[in-house]
Amino acid sequence: MTPQPVPARPRLVLASASPRRLALLQQAGLEVDALLPAEIDETPQRGEAPRFLAQRLATRKAEVANKIKNNQPELVGAYLIAADTVVAVGRRVLPKCETRDEAEDCLHLLSGRQHRVYTAVSLITPRGAERRRLAEARIRFKRLSSAEIAAYLATDEWRGKAGGYAIQGRAGIFVATVVGSYSAVVGLPLYETYALLSGEGFPALDFWEP
Ligand SMILES: Cc1cn([C@H]2C[C@H](O)[C@@H](COP(=O)(O)OP(=O)(O)OP(=O)(O)O)O2)c(=O)[nH]c1=O
């Protein structure tokens, strides 16, 4: 019997600078061949609903990174994934916090109430088609005391995080309930990402190591 050729593993590009997104893909057994972060303007448009903002920014990141990808011969034929996470209280979009004051404002706003996290994923297929999905989670924080807010601000874990917290870190103790996709809150919804990839023929399970 002639040995069957081993199929080439399709390449996967993650258009992100977020270590959380990479870690989530790795957790799911999806090895990333290249990281191509896309620098884009993330300013919301006037009156733009949070879910549409997440979708628009994920698509934009994917498009920008795909142009870079197409200039790299070794990445021709790769699948490309980008994502964007938006935290919102009602229609109000919370910032991706870069200063302590911003984070403090967010924590006061989130204290004792419910908010939503939207993460949009955009896939660009090897043929250049775009596919997208949106995942959502509803989260309730405990009422935060001044001491809790001060202690959390001192950790610096809020830096660069939408809404000024990271559920996967110390802020996990503030989260009373999560309804919806936990991985969407961390930055990349695994169910939706897998659905997108497998729907476009990416053989995700074939590459799971035992
Ligand atoms: C709410 C929440 C957000 N985040 C993070 C996920 C995202 O990295 C970040 C939201 O910012 P994004 O603009 O979605 O992503 P990013 O700038 O970090 O990375 P890139 O655009 O290069 O892909 O907030 C957490 O890590 N945990 C949380 O609980």
Domains by residue range for the chain, with CATH:
12-207 (3.90.950.10)
Give the pLDDT confidence score for residue 2 in this predicted structure. 63
pLDDT score of 12: 97
Residue 55: which residues within 8 A CB-CB, separation 6 or more?
84, 120, 122, 132, 134
| Percent of the chain clearing pLDDT 70 (strictly above) | 97
Q: Among candidates 110, 177, 100, which has minimal Cα distance to 143?
A: 110
pLDDT of residue 196: 98
The residue whose C-alpha atom lies closest to atom 6 belonging to ligand 1 is 187
CA distance 37 to 16: 4
pLDDT at 190: 98
Q: How far is the CA of 149 from the centre of ligand 1 (A)?
A: 20
On whether ipTM exceeds 0.85, the answer is yes
Looking at the DSSP bridge assignments, the partners of residue 177 are 140
pLDDT at 131: 98
120 lines ligand 1 (CB under 6 A): no
Residue ranges of the chain whose pLDDT lies below 70: 1-7
- Joined together, the tokens standing for residue 60 give 């934009």
Quote the pLDDT of residue 208. Answer: 86
pLDDT given at position 5:
56
Query: Do 119 and 61 meet the contact criterion of CB atoms below 8 Å apart?
Result: no
State how far the alpha carbon of 41 is from the alpha carbons of 48, 129, 186, in Å: 15, 23, 21
Spell out the SS3 assignment of 1-62. CCCCCCCCCCCEEECCCCHHHHHHHHHCCCCCCEECCCCCCCCCCCCCCHHHHHHHHHHHHH
Mean pLDDT of all residues belonging to the chain: 95
pLDDT at position 4: 57
Percent of the chain with pLDDT over 90: 93
**For the segment 68-126, what is each residue's pLDDT rounded down to a tens digit?**
999 999 999 999 999 999 999 999 999 999 999 999 999 999 999 999 999 999 999 99
Atom of ligand 1 nearest to the CA of 37: 22
Cα–Cα distance measured from residue 104 to residue 110, given in angstroms and rounded to the nearest whole number: 10
For the question of residue 156 being annotated catalytic, the response is no
CA-closest residue to ligand 1 atom 13: 84
